[in-house]
Amino acid sequence: MKYLITGYKGQLGYDVKRELLKRGVGEENILPLDKDEMDITNREEVNKVVKEFAPDVVFHCAAWTAVDKAEDMEDACYNVNVVGTKNVVDASIEVGATTIYMSTDYVFDGTKEGLYTEEDKVNPKSVYGRTKFLGEEEVRRNPKHFITRISWVFGINGHNFIRTMLKLSDNHSELNVVDDQIGSPTYTVDLAKSLVDMSNSDKYGTYNVTNSEYCSWAEFAEYIFESNKKDVKVNKVTTEEYLELTGTKQAYRPRNSKLDKSKLEENFGLLPTWKDAVNRYNIELEEEKKLVKKYNI
Catalytic residue positions, numbered = 128
**In DSSP terms, which residues pair with 207 in a beta bridge?**
148
Other Cβ atoms less than 10 A from the Cβ of 68: the count is: 15
Helix (H) or strand (E) holding 139: helix 127-139
Residue type present at position 285: L
Across the chain, which distance is largest between two alpha carbons, in Å? 55
DSSP classification of residue 273: B
E-strand stretches of the chain: 3-6, 30-32, 57-60, 98-104, 145-150, 153-154, 174-178, 182-183, 186-187, 205-208, 215-216, 233-237
